[in-house]
Amino acid sequence: MMTFVATFVVFLLVVLGMSIGWLIKRRTIAGSCGGIASVGMEKVCECPEPCEARKKRIRDENTVTLRLK
């Protein structure tokens, strides 16, 4: 029973911390827009084009590569 109470208190503290963060910043939880692409895979879905953040990251990587050459 003590384990259940301790676990419940920990979950309450986590929810309280998340709610305080939301009240202060007014931001919702968002994805990273990277996912599997961050481990080296080029494309995960059948989308015709990558998202804007991915396009920017590709441009930045190409710029860095060109500067190093």
**Looking at residue 7, what is its pLDDT?**
97
**Looking at residue 19, what is its pLDDT?**
86
The residue ranges of the chain whose pLDDT is under 50 are none
DSSP 40: T
DSSP 42: S
**Looking at residue 5, what is its pLDDT?**
95
Q: 30 in helix, strand or coil?
A: coil
The token pair that represents 39 in the structure block:
């481990």
Q: pTM of whole model > 0.85?
A: no
In whole angstroms, give the CA distance from residue 67 to residue 62: 9
The token pair that represents 49 in the structure block:
């084009």
**Looking at residue 44, what is its pLDDT?**
54
**What is the Cβ-side half-sphere exposure of residue 52, based on CA atoms within 13 angstroms?**
0
Domain edges within the chain: 1-30, 33-69
